[in-house]
Amino acid sequence: MQHPWTSALVTGASSGIGEAIARQLAAAGVDVTVVARRTERLEKIATEYPGVVVVAADLTVPTDVTRVAQLLNDPTHTIDLLVNCAGVGSSGPFVDGSMETYHQLIDLNVSALVSLTHAAMAPMSAAKRGWIINISSLGGHTPGPSFAVYSATKAFVTSFSESLFEESRNDGVVVTAICPGATHTEFGETAGAVGDDLPAMLWQTADEVATESLEAAARGRAVRVTGTINRITGALTTVLPRAVNRRLSAMVTSKL
């Protein structure tokens, strides 16, 4: 993989897309700091790739967010690339869910992502060089019945990232929103999105999403919907009436 980075910090690096991105970067010779709650999984990556730095942090905890943000502002160790991949999901009727779960979801998917992006952008803008990848979702393109809070957080991530892309256009900083569709990861199982009824062609592996993510950022893209079928689907959502998007989304989420 051709890449412009010398150092990166990846959140959510203990599994799924975050782990795949961290491994691809480390294999390409990038100095990677991996962040997640499950230290033992991060340490496994570190044993395979010398130079990987392990940081155990729960990004729903404000003090942990502050600690990771300080790493992004460390003048002795410049971070070229920030990958905000830490995230959580929940499924089911909104009224049946707990507010504790919803607050945790918003804290991680939105608040922590905004805080770390803000921390990274100051030194990147000063250096006129930097990249930020925010992992969003194709689910953020439309309403998500049965995934109402999750889909709303991902709509935020995409809009937020696109706004920053334009703000930073002349500052040497690239902010890219990555919007995967159905991906085989532990995340989907935890969120209740197994998708046994979805056609196999709609699924991607975490490695496939990671490769597209890094390529999109390196090329300076604002948004990348991963997977050909997903890109077609995403394009259709921009021309279909909102009522049709809602119904189609409900049909898809009912199969997850």
Active site residues: 150
Q: How far apart are CA 248 and CA 177, in angstroms?
A: 23
What end-to-end distance do the CA atoms of the chain give, in Å? 33
